[in-house]
Structure 1
Amino acid sequence: MKITVKSLKGGSALIEVTEKTSIMEVKKLVEKDINIPAPQQTLVLFGKTLQDDKLVEDYPKIKDGTKIYVAIKKQESLHVVLNKFLRKYYSEDQCKLIVDEFMRNFQSKVHSLSLDDLERIAKSEMGQ
């Protein structure tokens, strides 16, 4: 079946799915067509968020020609992610000290990178 996925910021994709297609697979197809990274997508159908681990068949309202909307989640900063992780093990004051020191060290190391270093990192991340 073919469904349309529309971005709230503009752009749409017509994608082919089956009942056994997972919502995560739908997101990956949308990523290719609309260029929104799958982890940043929230797929919405009739006001309900579609869960990544479910299949298309788990949502009986998804039929041939259905329109699904994709909202873009704001990415959390490294600072926020570190703080959330550390809160499991440390107090709020300890987390603040650890995260602040980490960010100072991280920024110092990033600023010391040369253009060649950045190019080498980019190439290795792109699999070249």
Structure 2
Amino acid sequence: MKIFIKVLRGDGCVMDVEKTTRIIDVKKQIEADLKVPVAQQTLVLLGKTLLDDKRIGFYPKIKDGTKLHLVIKKPESLNTILTRFLRNYYTEEQTKVVMDQFMKDFQAKVYSLSLDDLERIATSYLNDENI
């Protein structure tokens, strides 16, 4: 059956799926087609979030021609991720001290990179993306 994936900003795609296709596999195909990382995707049908481990057949409202809405989550910042991690091991005050020092060190290292360094890093990431 064919389903339509609609993104709020106007993009979208059409996919051929079976009742046995897992939602995570749909998301992987969306990543390939629309270049949206799986971790940033939430698929919604009639206001309900579809679960990654379920199959298309689990949702009886998904039929040929159904439109699923793709919500793209904003990626979390490095600061947010590290702060959440550190809170598991340190007090709020200690976490703030560690994060302030880390961000100072990080910014100093980034600012010390030359344009050649930045080009090598960018090229490396672009090459990894195309593999």
- Say yes or no: TM over 0.5: yes
Query: Which letter does structure 2 place at the counterpart of 1:63?
Result: K
Residue 123 in 1 paired to residue 126 in 2? Answer: no
Give the corresponding residue for 1:59. Answer: 59
Offset of 1:34 from its aligned partner? Answer: 2.7
2-side partners of 1:33 and 1:116: how far apart?
32
Offset of 1:29 from its aligned partner? Answer: 1.6
Residue 74 in 1 paired to residue 74 in 2? Answer: yes
Which runs of 5 or more structure 2 residues have no equivalent in the other structure? Answer: none
Q: 1:60-89: per-residue Cα shift (whole Å, max 9, x none)?
A: 221211110011112111111111111111
Q: 1:74-121: per-residue Cα shift (whole Å, max 9, x none)?
A: 211111111111111111111111111111111111111112212222
Give the corresponding residue for 1:98. Answer: 98
Runs of 4+ in 1 over 6 A off after TM superposition: none
Give the corresponding residue for 2:42. Answer: 42
Give the corresponding residue for 1:24. Answer: 24
2-side partners of 1:85 and 1:75: how far apart?
16
Which runs of 5 or more structure 1 residues have no equivalent in the other structure? Answer: none
1:36 is paired with a residue whose SS is: coil
2-side partners of 1:52 and 1:100: how far apart?
36
Offset of 1:35 from its aligned partner? Answer: 3.0
Number of aligned pairs? 128
Query: Which letter does structure 1 place at the counterpart of 2:45?
Result: L
Greater shift, 29-38 or 58-67, is seen at 29-38
Offset of 1:20 from its aligned partner? Answer: 2.4
2-side partners of 1:86 and 1:52: how far apart?
28
TM-score by length of structure 2 reads 0.88
Report the RMSD for the aligned CA atoms in angstroms.
Answer: 1.6
